[in-house]
Structure 1
Amino acid sequence: MNRIKAVLQKCWQYEIVHAAVYSALLNMLVECFNRRSLIGLVMIFTNPVLFLYNTLIILVTMSIVLLFHRKVFVYCTVSVVWILLAVTNFVVLCSRKTPFTAMDIYLIEDAIKVIPVYLNVFQMILIVLAVAAGIAGLVWLWIKGPKQQEKIHYIRTTVKIGLLLLCCMGVTHFLLLTGTISSYFGNLANAYKQYGFAYCFTCSVVDRGISKSDEYTPEYVNSLKEDIEEIEVENSEKSPNIIFLQLESFFDPNLVKGISFSENPLPYFEQLVAEYPSGYLSVPCFGAGTANTEFEVQTGMNMDDFGPGEYPYKTVLQSKVCESMAYDLKEKGYATHALHDNDGTFYDRYKVFSHLGYEDFTSIEYMDNIEMTPMGWAKDKILTGEIGKILDSTDGSDYIYTISVQGHGDYPAEYPEGFVPEITVTGFFDTAKEKAFTYYVNQIHEMDNFLRELTAMLESRDEETVLVMYGDHLPGFSFTDEVLENGDIYQTQYVVWSNFSLSSEKENLESYQLAAHVQQMLGMSEGYLTKFHQKRKDTPDYLKDLKILEYDILYGNCDLYGGENPFQATNLIMGQNDITITNAYNYKDYVCVEGSNFNDYSVVYINDKAYPTEIINSHLLRVEKAQVTAGNIVSVVQQGDDKIELSRVYLQVGESENK
């Protein structure tokens, strides 16, 4: 016993042993947050290899303590970072079903916009106080904490850290070869539980974009190109309006087992499914991740080929222009439009849509008479009139990509003030969950009414039109495959309505196949990826070759296009109606700005300084406690709560008159 004690005491003399023990304890805490219970400790016994591997990853970060004299401070700082990540993951999992990844840091601006929906003021204050206390504690440790005096051999220590990193990389490679871990996360939430938080989050940091295949060569891409160019499609002379309608968190709640409703929440949608081409749609996300379903539908690309939790809107599409349904249809003379009844800056759509071929984008900042849900989201019925405006704006064929928002979470456990459910739900054992689901069901019931109004409007127009409706993902409830009649939480439904005869068998699809499928129904085959999906969908190398084409288009040499990307970013116009200023003048102690198409998102700037703006009507804005003089530049800027400018018109003031 004394010999063992002596050995342990000797080992404890080495700082790396301290770091290893602290890393193991820290990993226990992180896994408890990851699994949202003390069951995280079970990983030590059920899968000791993965527990030690995740500990090794944390140890690599903890090993920087060897380079500092203030070791307690460094231990605490590294620990705080890991705990902060774990707690963030815990909070994120409480409001959505997709774990926290490094990509969410890119989305921090978008997250700030929706924080009030998920957290109340008291919770936000607690978070701010906890962060402030953590920072204050670290500052105190830096000032008052112990400082060791031993000399540090920086070169030798750096080599030790490097060897530890190489060891971690070697273990990672070995575990990948043996199948103990995987670099492919088909279900991100399951991967975090199966492989551990430290490994999965680290993957989201280092694994971005699409990896290059060993088979990627100009010759291989050209062989694929020659093959898909041989596709034979009966080219239709018709060019109907094509409208894609992505419905936020929309699915048929009748698919949930054991739940009853006072009346059918989606009578019209179920009628459409029965009468028109339809099927299940496999989407890349559950509970959140709208932009990634958008990306798959528009581009025909598979999100499984990107890094874990990646949002191409925030990474590659910030700089790359990508083949899409919009670019494909522009080749046939279509006008291309995007429409969304939420902030235009969300997911950077106001930037990205110019890289996807849209000529204009109407976001909520360009809409009037918007009715909001009790949780502050726009009701989708506003989109009927906006789609009509777009169709009226051109004489030719239109392609409109529409994104709805009414079904968006959070779903309150207590009914908001003034909310009286039209449809009641029974079958839940938890009253809070029942009320939350009741609130959700009533929102999508209104969305069902919106679909009825929209198709009626389109039917009344003397234009052939196709409307493709689908849910972007299931809502953020604790569903499992076993709870659903269709047995898959990654499936929504799609239906293709048209006001002319359009035949097609019912077929289940991946969301990246939907646009090509619709084109095929219409006798079209525009775009290389469209041709690829139409011809190669059922072949053995389908997914492998799709990944090679995706890499070539976004990261490779563009061999598919002869070595040069043929698509150019569009000059994206915000809104359908031109906003104008015709006059600006002083009246008493405020400024009046006259013009057209003003709304609640119009803000007056005088010489580039923003002023609180009151809208009188669509032709008149008023700014109190301000004056203009000759030569001043008066601007009207469209912007949301984030203050990001979407468009600006201006007028130079002439000789002003006090009225």
Structure 2
Amino acid sequence: MLTRKNEKKKHIFQWIGLAVIILYFIFAAFQYKIFQGDIFKAYKIDSPETEVVCDGWEKKLEFTAAQRELKYFEMTYLNPKGDTAQGHVQAEIKDSSGKSVWKKDFPASEMRKGIYARGIQGTVYDVNKKLKKGESYNLSLKAVDMPKEQNITARRPDLTMHYYGFNIIKFCMLLGAILMLAVLLWIPNKFNEKWNLYLSRAMFAVTPVLAFVLLERFNQTSIRNLGVFKSSVNLLVYILLLAFFFLITNRTKIASFLTIITVSLLGLANYFVVSFRGIDLMPIDFTSIRTAANVAAGYEYSINTAILWNGVLILGFLIVLFRLKAGKGLKKKQRLIPAAVFAGMLLVNISVFSNTQRLREWGIKIKLFNPSVSCKRNGYAAIFTASLKFLVAEKPEGYSEEKVEQIMKPYVKKAEEENRNINVSGKKTTKQTPNVIAVMNESFSDLSVLGDFKTNQDYMPFYHSLKKNTIKGNMYMSSFGGQTANSEFEFLTGSSMAFLPGGSVAYQYQVKDELGSLTTTLKEQHIWPAAITGRLCIRC
């Protein structure tokens, strides 16, 4: 029997929850524009995979226009001839009276095998034709001048039509789901104390899974493509986060709540960061959070349907979570158990995510220069956590400023003698500033540095002919096999990547302030440097 105090708390929770649901309903209703766009519908056609698309091949499909504008339709084929395929497919759409409303020929050379990227993508037949919504039409496909010897076959027995319009069904489903949250809020909890406890613990146990699903949905990652193993690796992070919150709160409800809210805020922030700059939010970005806050107001924010549905999932989970009655928490000595669990999970996470080589063996590769690719393939939490180690560069053994000065002293002295531009009379001599041209070409190499070998002709005649007014030699670098930015970093700064965490990108993780380099030296000598990339864009 609930006491008056508990009854009052229950009603306060319900009314606050109802207010939140109403506000969310209004917010979602105003986002109707995001439901306007591509709407597709798949149709089965009688076309077995063994049937060759050649002269005499013809398929017909009767369909009802789902929207007013048909953008395109697509089929997938197996085309061994590729761009050299001969003939064309004649496509035509007729209305119910038999009148042709659209007709076009598509070259067989443009028929390609379907590729999988967020669903299968096949040969696209552009239509861009206004139709009457709800009216019946007939589509016919006919092969013309296509020899049977080309062996072009239909890859899948379906045809997908893509319309442009307002998806009223999905829009109403979302609003209906939000209204169902209000019903869920007011359904009486008739479970006894024992079942409340069991269900509350079940909600606690499922929290890491929901957090994982939410974050990957924010990041628009296919969980199915991640697979069971990579998903399990990501779950380690969420379990650790949940264990941490339970350790400090000693309440399953509060721990689950904080975990879901933390993950949701991170996912939402990452969604906006990706939409603004195209690269996922990484640990290094939090070091410049003040700068980000200053420019945040200058951006335009928009969301997608996945975010709206995430809101429904979050609200639904929290309503059920707080409607259930949970235990009072662990006693003092019993709190050693969650402490031990947290410590164990912390060690497991450190062991897993600090070992780059092991992650590579598991197929989890980190591309720090473009982490979005890694996040899509391996999961956001795994890549984000594995990137933490790149924030800290350990001090090399025996390093000190005094030691650096001691090592550099003879070189500095020699440079001062060579570069002294004052003659015996004390007058400055005029000296023309040189043009310094540095070309970075990672595919260029002189294999003779690996050992002497003989050839019947000079394999690098132009390079070997550069003798007059040319200073050349070999530069020893720790970077090998990729990471262009690190090769550039070593060349410009003279610093070595050997002293930085393996796999890191110096410009992103270690360079926070101005660093002495060839660029700064040239500027001090009034020589303005400029770098031209492979795409001919200039950066200074």
Shorter-chain TM range is: 0.3 to 0.5
What TM-score, normalized by structure 1, do the two folds share?
0.33
Q: Which has the higher contact order (CA 8 A, sep 6+)?
A: 1
What TM-score, normalized by structure 2, do the two folds share?
0.39
